[in-house]
Amino acid sequence: MKQYGAEFFGTFWLVLGGCGSAVLAAAFPGVGIGLLGVSLAFGLTVLTMAYAIGHISGCHLNPAVSIGLWAGGRFPANKLLPYIVAQVLGAIVAGGVLYVIASGKAGFDVAGGFASNGYGAHSPGGYSLTAALVTEVVMTMMFLLIILGATDERAPKGFAPLPIGLGLTLIHLISIPVTNTSVNPARSTGVALYVGDWATAQLWVFWVAPIAGALLGAAIYRFIGKPEAK
pLDDT in tens, 44-99: 999 999 999 999 999 999 999 999 999 999 999 999 999 999 999 999 999 999 99
Rounded to two decimals, what is the model's pTM? Answer: 0.94
Each domain of the chain, given as residue ranges in start order, spans 2-224
Q: How far is the C-alpha of 9 from the C-alpha of 209, rounded, in Å?
A: 25
In 72-201, where does DSSP find H-type helix?
80-102, 129-150, 161-179, 185-195, 197-201
Evaluate whether the domain defined by 2-224 bears CATH number 1.20.1630.10: no
What is the average per-residue pLDDT within 127-141?
A: 98
Q: What pLDDT, on a 0 to 100 scale, did the predictor assign at position 225?
A: 83
| pLDDT band of 230, cuts 50, 70, 90 | low
pLDDT digit string (tens) for 4-52? 999 999 999 999 999 999 999 988 888 899 999 999 999 999 999 999 9
Q: In b/e form, how buried is each residue of 25-47, taking b as 16+ CB within 10 angstroms?
A: ebeeeeeebebeebbbbbbbbbb
What is the average per-residue pLDDT within 160-168?
A: 96
Determine the Cα angle at 14 with ends 115 and 216, to 5°. 90
What is the average per-residue pLDDT within 188-215?
A: 96
Q: What pLDDT, on a 0 to 100 scale, did the predictor assign at position 27?
A: 86
